[in-house]
Structure formats: structure tokens, C-alpha cells
Amino acid sequence: MFDSKKSVLQEVCFSFLNKTNKKLFIKRDDLIDEFVSGNKWRKLKYNIEHARQLGKKGILTFGGAYSNHLLATAAACHYYGLNSIGIVRGEELTIESNEMLQKCSDFGMELLFISRTEYANRNESSFVNYYKSEFPNFYLVPEGGANYYGIIGCQEIMLEAGFDFDRVFIAQGTTATSCGVLTSLKNGTRLSAVPVLKGFDTFGEMKKLLSYSGFEQEWVDELLHLVDIHTESHFGGYGKYDASLLELMQHFYQETAIPLDPVYTGKLIHALCEYCLATSEIAEKILIVHTGGIAGGLHVSRSEGYVFN
Ligand SMILES: Cc1ncc(COP(=O)(O)O)c(C=O)c1O
């Protein structure tokens, strides 16, 4: 139903990088679907398949007030005839609190609002077991689709893009997307991870998710040597940005017609530019993965005046 063939591989010419020795390509996962966009479909694809194999009637998952993952889950379940439940961080919120939650509800997602304190336990087994026993007919997917099935879905990104890149840039939240890409790399390609959270422990989080998902520890330790972390593009933390980031995104859009969002992909391009300028003399073929994040323009309306079209 969602077709990753729509995710074309495009060469990018961005004048900012003209004087560098880099060749840039972008994997347009943002084109997969308006709402199940970017890495969302990658992370949901095998979770949905698994839920259906188990004969579950729907998916229960978790997210914040502006969660791309909640919206994508609501939309994907709607299209696949599954029910969906979203456990939302913030008991003060309602369906009317923002467009994202409204849209989730329009897709038929039942939203349950819980306190931030409760939500903080989302990865504890007691918390997970509570929801499993309350909703036995639902398959539980962790926040951000970060589990084994999410990772193997993301392994298909490189399979489609090919393996002849020197480096791949990925924005990081839960790390599921970068874990999928890392575990599918070949030929010594390096992974440039761009955490959007301040003080994020990329190695620790990737190690934790990969071992929890059943990947062999020794292999994981070996793979992590291929990871470079770009720690200086978080703009103060999750969801934070400034006028200079919006200007860079605007500039990128004007030259490439590729929209970015300020939460993930804008920061990705910022880290890419910083890296390319700092290593301009090194010839490299770089792949950027466009992980979406601009569902129906909903994020755009949050970014104060940044308009794509
Ligand atoms: C647009 C976008 N890009 C990147 C990410 C980060 O992906 P991950 O959580 O798999 O690290 C997310 C969060 O899922 C996202 O919404």
C-alpha cells in the first residue's frame, strides 16, 4: 500500500558545498507518503506485518504531543484496516491541543493522555505489561517504532540506495533508523549520526537498542567503529532551532526544491554542511537519508513563518 519505490535517489547540488570535494545524494523517503513519511513507513512496515500475523486487531504505541510516529501509526493502521491506540505524554492535552493530535484522531486513533511522570516509565516492563494486559488484542510498538521490526525495516534503505557511498548521514531520535542503516552497511561506508537531542549518548543508545533487539554484541561493537557523531547541530535540544537554521533550510529548499523540517532533517543538513566545509579537501560520495517529518505541512506550521510553497 505504501510504496518505497516513490523514494527516489536524487543527486543534490547545493551551492553552499560547491567548493568542497563532495558528491551528494539524497534518498527521498519523505516521498513515500504524506503522513506515513520517511523512516515512519520503514519502522512500521514489519511491525504491521507482525501484528497481522499475530492476528491482533490493532497497534498500541506511544508518543509526545507532536509525534510524527503517532500520526504515521494512526494513518498506516487506518489504511491497513487495523485499530490504533496512542498513549500520549501529557495529561493536560486533548485531541484539540494541536493539529497532529487532531489528525491522529481523524485517522481513528484512540488517544489516551497520561502524565509525564507515568510516561517516563514507558520502557519499564511493568508499564509495558500493564498496557499488554489492558489491551490484549493490540500489538505494542515502542515509542518511535524502535524495536527489531523497526530496525529491519530501515535496513531496506541501503538495499534500495546501493552500497557505493563513502558516508551516510542520518538524523537520530530513538536511533532505530541509524541502527537499521548501520547493520546493513557494506564496503566500509561510514555512518554520520546527527542526534537532535542535546547531550545524547549515541553509542550507548544504539548499543542498547541493538542488543535489546537481539543483535550480537560483538558484531555491534565492531559496527560502532563505523559511526561518527555530529554533536553540534542540536540547536539547544529537541524541537529547538533558531533563525539561522530556518534560513539554511530555506536556502536549501530554494536551490533543491527539497523541503526540510526544523526538528530533524534541517539539523541533519546543518551537520552535513559543517562536516563538508571542515573536510572540504577529502573527496567523498555522501548519502543523506531524508527521513520525512513534514507530514501534511503540519510541522511547517509550527516553524513560524517558514513556508515551502
Ligand atoms: C523526521 C524524522 N527524522 C528522523 C527521526 C529519527 O529517527 P529515529 O527515531 O529512528 O532515530 C525521526 C523520529 O522518528 C523523525 O520523525
Q: Is 69 in the pocket of ligand 1 (CB under 6 A)?
A: yes
What is the pLDDT, as a whole number, of residue 121? 95
Is the predicted pLDDT of residue 297 greater than 70, yes or no? Answer: no
What CA–CA distances, in Å, run from 230 to 171, 184, 198, 242, 286?
A: 10, 21, 11, 18, 15
Distance (angstroms) between ligand 1 centre and the Cα of 140 equals 19
Amino acid 3: pLDDT: 84
Q: What is the mean pLDDT of residues 158-187?
A: 97
Cβ of residue 36 lying under 6 Å from some atom of ligand 1: no
> CATH for 4-35+148-302, among 3.40.50.800, 3.40.50.1100, 2.60.120.10, 3.40.50.11440?
3.40.50.1100
Rounded distance from Cα 27 to ligand 1 centre (Å) = 14
> Using one digit for the tens of pLDDT, what is the confidence trace for 7-45?
999 999 999 999 999 999 999 999 999 999 899 999 999
Q: What is the pLDDT of residues 121-139, one digit of tens each?
A: 998 999 999 999 999 999 9
Report the residue among 34, 39, 203, 303 best suited for mutation to probe ligand 1: largest number of ligand atoms under 8 A from its CB: 39
Kindly write down the DSSP assignment for every residue of 171-240, as one continuous string. EESSSHHHHHHHTT--TT-EEEEEESSTT--HHHHHHHHHHHTT--HHHHHHHGGGEEE-TT-STTSTT-
Q: Any idea where the domains of the chain sit in the sequence?
A: 4-35+148-302, 39-145
What confidence category does residue 306 fall into, taking pLDDT thresholds of 50, 70 and 90? very low
39-145 adopts what CATH topology?
Rossmann fold (3.40.50)
Mean pLDDT of 2-10: 92
Q: Which residues pair with 12 in a beta bridge?
A: 24
Q: Determine whether the shortest distance from the Cβ of 184 to ligand 1 is under 6 A.
A: no
Q: For the residues 197-203, what does the mean pLDDT come to?
A: 98
pLDDT in tens, 233-270: 999 999 999 999 999 999 999 999 999 999 999 999 99
Atom of ligand 1 nearest to the CA of 175: 11
- On the question of pLDDT at 301 being above 80, the answer is no
pLDDT at 303 over 60: no
36-90 per-position pLDDT tens digit: 989 999 999 999 999 999 999 999 999 999 999 999 999 999 999 999 999 999 9
What spacing in Å lies between the alpha carbon of 234 and ligand 1's midpoint?
14
The shares of helix, strand and coil residues in the chain, as percent rounded to the nearest 5, are 45, 15, 40
What was the pLDDT predicted at 294? 76
Whether residue 142 has its Cβ less than 6 Å from ligand 1: no
Tens digits of residue pLDDT in 215-228: 999 999 999 999 99
Q: Identify the band that residue 308 occupies on the pLDDT scale cut at 50, 70 and 90.
A: very low
**pLDDT at position 2 over 90:** no
Residue 175 near ligand 1, beta carbon < 6 Å: yes
Cβ–ligand 1 contact at 173 (below 6 Å): yes
C-alpha 45 chain-centroid distance: 14
State whether the beta carbon of 39 lies less than 6 angstroms from ligand 1: yes
Distance between CA atoms of 96 and 300, rounded to whole angstroms? 18
- The rounded mean pLDDT for the chain is 94
Share of the chain above pLDDT 90, in %: 92
Cα(196) to centroid(ligand 1), Å: 9
Please say if the pLDDT value at position 176 is more than 60.
yes
Distance 281 CA to ligand 1 centre (A): 30
- The sign of the torsion formed by the CA atoms of 279, 280, 284, 287 equals positive
Cβ neighbour number for residue 98 with a 10 Å cutoff: 16
pLDDT band at 1 (very low <50, low <70, confident <90, very high): confident
pLDDT bin (cut points 50, 70, 90) of residue 296 is: low
DSSP conformation class of 152: H
How far, in Å, CA of 240 to CA of 264, rounded? 10
Topology agreement, domain 4-35+148-302 and domain 39-145: yes
Mutational test site, ligand 1, from 34, 261, 264, max ligand atoms within 8 Å of CB = 264
Q: Are 24 and 288 contacting, i.e. CB atoms less than 8 angstroms apart?
A: yes
